[in-house]
Structures are given as C-alpha cells and as structure tokens.
Chains A and B, each alone.
Chain A
Amino acid sequence: MKAFSYKMYFFLIPALVYQLIFGVYPLIYNLILSFKDVNLITYIGGTSQWIGLSNYVQILKDPVFKKAIFNTLIFTGLSLCFQFIVGFCLALLFNRTFPLKGLFQSLIMIPWVLPIMVSGSFFRWFFNDQGMANNILLSWGFIDKPIPWITSQILPILSITAANIWLGIPFTFILLYTGLRAIPLELFESAEIDGANWWQNILFITIPILKPVIITILTLGCILTVKAFDLIWIMTKGGPGDVSQLLTTLSYSLAFNKFHFGKSSSLLVIMVLLVISLTILFNSIKVEEESSIE
C-alpha cells in the first residue's frame, strides 16, 4: 500500500535529517582537514594548505601506524568475542525468575556506568608489576617474578583488552537478555516434546531468532570498540614506547601532542573506512527477512 510508504517517511525523516546535518558535516570536516597540511599556527589562523594525499602517504609509512592497526584489530576482535560469550551466558542464566534477580542485573550494569577514569585506573593498578594480579599470583606460588602485564611489549594490548572485555559485558548482556525474554515459550515447549536438549535449543531456536539482535550487537560493538580511547589512554597512554597505540590513541596523540591535525584527521578517515568494511561484513550475514510490509 503505497499510501503507507509515503506516511512512513514522516517516521524516518527526523532521524535522517538530524544525522545528515549534525553527523555528516563532521565527517566531511575531518575529510577536508585530512587533505591539508595543518599545524597549530595554520589551524588557528585558518591558513592551512592543500596537500592532497600527502598526509595519508606519511601515515601509512609510519611504523607506529602498522602497530596501531594490528593492535586495533586484536583489541576489537578479542573484545567482541569474549564480551559476546560472557554476555550471552549471563543472559541465559538470568532468563528465569529468582529472588534478587533485579538487583544483580543492575549491579552487572555498573562496569558500563562508572567513569572510565576510575575503572581504567583500577585495571592499571591491577596489572601493575607490583599490582593485584602479580601479588595474587606470587603469593599462590604460580610465578616467582612479577609478570610485566603493562610494561612489556606484547602483553600491554592484551591486558587492556581484558579490561575492555569487563567494561563491555553490560552492553551485550542487557541487549541479549531483552532479546531472550521476547522469545515465546511455546517454541521451547514444542521442542521439548520433540526431545530436544538444552544445547540444541540454543543452537536451533535461540540463536536464529536472535540473529538481528546479535548482528546489531556485533555492529554497534565494533563501532564502540574501535573508537574506544579513554581506557587505553588511562592504562598506558599508548605506551610504553608506543606498543599499545590504537588508531584512536595515535590520532589523538598526533593532534594534541604533536599538533599534526591533518595527519590526525587522515588517521580518523582510515579508521572510518575500516569500520565501514567491518560493518558491511557483519551485515552481509543475511537475516531470514521476515517479509516486510509493501
């Protein structure tokens, strides 16, 4: 019914117009900046010169860039993976009624609520050479020398990822939980009659029904994780010696430590392109489209 299509535009237009003005303009602004040679003086004076792809070429040649891309992929991949697994298990666990459930649920949201300045600092102390993790391992005799969780070369990014997994659990948990609660019980009842066990229920009923929610979690999770900045900055500032730089921290450092605003923006553009490719990947997983209304 075409009449409905026409009216539906009213539902859609506010969001579209809003994002076009306030969301697309900053993208274009940064894109333009990435093609200019911008330092502190030219940025403030408005006299930056066009230099085409020069910023991109320089960035791509920088060895720290390779490290940043690699770290970003590891950080994002591992974070999404484990946040999903833990969030899903918790959602399954909480998908029933029991006393104090509401309280526990809201407690589980706390990691997402606390200011990152504080939770990030906690994990930094946890992973310090003389911090909680090493203290526990040493006193139980598992190790005899402190492990340099955030003061070596390979471990820092993994430690930061562990902290990020903790931070993101509430996000996947609450989205999966709400999705689970909407699954009609009859489906499970009829499966039980057919003799399906708990594991098969999950694989063949729960996950297929939750597909739109799962894809959304992966997409939004990917966006939120790739642009994560504060946690890394608080734990290691991208160090020691630039080993834990991600695209976001490198971009910030180029802008506010070195005042290379053009290069910083070109890095952001690269980051946007990276996320776009990843989200296209996720969204190409076809959801059995419930027929849409014509």
Chain B
Amino acid sequence: MKWLLRTVFIVIMLLVIVFTGFAQKNVTITVQDYFDPAQSMGKFIEEKMVEFENNHPNVKINHTYIPYSQLLPTILQEAITKTVPEIIMVNNPNISQLIKAGVLKDLTGKVKEWGWENWEDYLKGYRDNGSYEDKIYAFQITGNNLALFYRKSLLDKAGIANPPKTWQELEEQCKKIKEVLNITPFAYDGEASDEGSFQFYSFLWSNGGSLLELDQPEAIEALQFLTDMFKKGYIPRDVLNITSQGDLTPWFVNGEVAFMINGCWEFGWHLTEDVMQKLGDVKVTSIPVPEKGMHSINAFGGECYGISSNIDPAKYDVAWEFLESLLSSDFNLRLNIASASLPTRASAVNEILTEMPILEPFLEQSKYALPMALMGGMENYGEISSILWVSIQKAFTGVATPEEVFKEAAQNIKGIFSPEDYEKYKQLARTLLQEASKK
C-alpha cells in the first residue's frame, strides 16, 4: 500500500514539474507601436522579432500596430485598465506625461548592467527627455526636426540666387516670388494640433522666446512675423485646416509653393528618390533666424520605446533583452536610413550623412534642438501646446493681435501651475534655451 501511495505521489510531482515547466516555457511579449509592417520601420522591427524568437525558442513576440492618431488614447485606456503591453512605443512629446503618470518602468538598473556608455551615447536632449529625476524610462530610437525646403527652380525664376537666412530675407523673397510667379510661396503648417505648435518652435526659440513666457516681446515678435506673412498672403490660408504636415508636400511637389517647413522624414515618404529625380530642384536649408549670426533652435521629435510599469516580473528580463536588441547602434542606423530620420546616438550621427547627404541641415540643427515637453512644463505640455495653437490661429485669422492673444495665453498657462512649479519650469526652459543659444 505504501509503495502505491509513494508512486502516485512521485508521478503527481513529476506531472506538476513537467506542466509548470511547460507553463514557464512560453513567454509572450507584446510590442505596441504605430509602425505598419507594410512599411520599412515596421518591417525591420518585425524582422528583429523573428530573429529574437529564433534565438529564444520559448518566447513569442507579438507586434501590435495602432493607427497613429489613436496611439495616445490607446495607451491612456490601457494605463487606466492596467492592460499596457510589455513594450510600448511613445511619441516624443508625450513621454514626460507618461513617465510622471507612472506608466513606464524605471530601467536604470538594467541600463547599469548594459553599460552606462550605451546610455551616454544618446544625445543629451534625448536623454533628458527619456529620464526623470535621474531615473531612466525611455529610449529614443528616431529623431527628427524641421527645416526649410525650397524649389530652386522657382527661386531662380524669381531672380533669387540664395535661399533666405533671416526672417527679413524670407519675407522679401516671398514678396518677390508672389509678384513674379503669382503663388502663395511659403507653406507653414498652422493647423489646430501638436504639429501646428511644432512648426512654431524654431521661430519662438531662435528669437529667445519661451512657452512659459509668451507675453514677453521675444515670443510676440515671433508670432507677429508669422502673422504678417499670413496676412500679406505669403502663406496659403488653407494651412489652418490641413490634416498634418504631410499635406504641405503635394503643394510643394506641384510647384504651388516655393518654400515649406517640413521634416526630414519627407525624404522617406513623399520625396522619394524618383520624385526627387523628376523634380530635380528640391533643396533644404536651416530655418531662417531672426538676425544674421544666430542659429536655428528647433524642437526635435521622434519615437521612444519603454517598458510597461505593470509588466509581469517573470517577463521583465526577456522584455528588456528584446528592447536592448532594438537599441543597437547599427539597427538604429538602418531604421534611420529607411525612414529618413536622424540618429539618436552620437556614434551614428555622422554615418547617416554618407548615406543621405541631404539630411545635413537637419543634422546641423539637431545640435541645438530642444525637447518640447521640457521646454513646456513637462506633464502639462499637452495643455500648453493646445493653448499655443489656438492662439496662433486666432492671430492668423485676425480675431486679435499677436500681443493680445499671447498675453491671454501666457495668463492661462501661468494658471495651470502652482507658483513654485511655474518658477521651476520657467527656469528649466530658460536654462535649456541659454545652453542651446551659446553653443
């Protein structure tokens, strides 16, 4: 009798071990972003997933891609219902908010193991954006910023030899082009969204203005300049309602505008090799600055990856391992070349120039580029950005003067913060701007 019981016991123990072994064998990680696998970024990331699965037979990686406009609402809904996937991609402006809301996991320990030199290889702005209070939460894998695109042939027709370097030159050239060619020459995105705000930053920061001090002359001058351009008919009125910056490019390609402010990604999107060959005269330069000798201080954009703060602890190591494989310098370079985005790691910065020399003005500007969220009150950046774009639109449509709209905006923005926080963020913005102006 006893040996029967013992055998049964042993068999049960064996079964338990075998089954829990089976249970442990399959780890599923989900990676969520907006990279459609029909396009290069998504394709490369899925290749990495397959590679990782081959090297780790007990791991399954799922790729969930969400439509771009739905990414943030989806992350919010997942955060509230505690169903955030293991690895998530976040668009650059939202990182600060999500860090503060506790959505992303503190990865400092893992970075230590990986090696600090890897983290420090990331350019400073990206490191600032992805960390908080000395803890690391997110890695930016693609960078971008805006520059002035122009059609050389149209400038030639209007008798203009060189692209504008200052605001005044831009205005004069627009005047000339409008007279000679009868087009509205300057495509600037004035829509009611983050992209509209994004376009404004070069004009604001190059002139020494700050999002947290919009009632100061530097900020008002920037808005005044653009408003005058709009009112004089140098900017097409329809920019108020476009869907995104990408809608400016068809006008540019059709020769209906001579200048456009757009991002480096266009070279991986609308302005592909065959289009560039057909047009033959597409050139890029840094965004014009208020006065000679200044340099263009821009906002940078891009995408970041992080790990969910409520990840199952058993999955953490595997998730980190996969994330680490996405962060390698050459993989990032591949992604950057495919999507015409800027490398985020110092070691890769110059390599992209050999592949895509046209990105030179973007790379030059990226030396001084600043993180939007840190310049705009961190977790309150979303609200500040929305106040900004409404003000810009009000000034453009003539509801009120730039001075009036910005005075009101500055008051509203100040009211979002407690007095101490307001001072803190105001100082942070000033410090970052000073550093960028000096370089």
Contact = CB atoms under 8 A, between A and B. Distances in A.
Q: Do chains A and B touch in the complex (CB under 8 A)?
A: yes
Interface of A: 40-41, 43-45, 121, 124, 128-131, 146, 148, 150-153, 234-243, 253, 256-260
B397 A257 contact: no
B399 interface: yes
A239 B236 contact: no
Contacts of A237: 191-193, 241
B61 interface: no
A237 B241 CA distance: 7
Nearest to B238: A128
A235 B241 contact: yes
A122 B390 CA distance: 24
A238 B192 contact: yes
Q: Which 8 A-B pairs have the closest CB atoms?
A: A241-B394, A239-B192, A241-B393, A237-B192, A240-B393, A258-B383, A257-B386, A129-B237
Contacts of A260: 383
Nearest to A249: B192
A180 to B, nearest CB: 39
A241 B386 CA distance: 10
B102 interface: yes
Interface in B362-388: 379, 382-383, 385-386
24 contacts: A41-B100, A41-B101, A41-B102, A43-B76, A128-B241, A130-B236, A130-B237, A130-B238, A150-B241, A152-B397, A153-B397, A235-B241, A237-B193, A239-B192, A240-B240, A240-B397, A241-B391, A241-B399, A242-B390, A243-B397, A257-B383, A257-B385, A257-B386, A259-B97
B203 interface: no
B76 A44 contact: yes
B79 interface: yes
A230 B73 CA distance: 15
B158 interface: no
Contacts of B103: 44
Given A241-B390, A258-B383, 17 more contacts: A40-B101, A44-B80, A44-B102, A121-B243, A128-B238, A130-B237, A151-B237, A153-B399, A236-B240, A237-B193, A237-B241, A239-B240, A241-B391, A241-B399, A256-B72, A259-B382, A259-B383
B396 interface: yes
Residue among A43, A240, A256 with the highest chain B CB neighbour number at 10 A: A240
Contacts of A40: 76, 97, 100-101, 379
Given A41-B102, A259-B97, A131 B192 contact: no
Nearest to A130: B238
Nearest to A64: B390
Majority secondary structure, A binding face? loop
Contacts of B241: 124, 128, 150-151, 235-237, 239-240
Contact of A151 (B97, B240, B243): B240
A102 to B, nearest CB: 36
A40 B381 CA distance: 12
Nearest to B72: A256
Given A41-B379, A44-B102, A259-B383, A239 B238 contact: no
Interface string B219-250: 00000000000000000111011010000000
Interface string B176-192: 00000000000000111
Contacts of A242: 390, 393-394
Given A130-B236, A239-B393, A43 B100 contact: no
Contacts of B190: 240
B400 to A, nearest CB: 9
Contacts of A41: 100-102, 379
B238 A151 contact: yes
Given A238-B192, A241-B393, A256 B73 contact: yes
A259 B191 CA distance: 20
Contact of A258 (B72, B101, B382, B391): B382
A191 B163 CA distance: 79
A43 B78 CA distance: 12
Contacts of A148: 237
Residue among B238, B379, B386, B393 with the highest chain A CB neighbour number at 10 A: B238
Given A41-B101, A130-B236, A237-B191, A253 B399 contact: no
Given A41-B379, A259-B97, A236 B236 contact: no
B253 to A, nearest CB: 16
B237 A257 contact: no
Contacts of A153: 397, 399
A265 to B, nearest CB: 13
A129 B238 contact: yes
A258 B386 contact: yes
Interface string B89-108: 00000000100111100000
B383 A44 contact: no
Nearest to A150: B241
Nearest to B392: A241
Nearest to B396: A240
Nearest to A121: B243
A251 to B, nearest CB: 13
A131 B238 CA distance: 9
Contacts of B382: 257-259
A168 to B, nearest CB: 22
Contacts of B396: 240-241
Contacts of B237: 129-130, 146, 148, 151
Nearest to B242: A124
A55 to B, nearest CB: 15
A45 B81 CA distance: 10
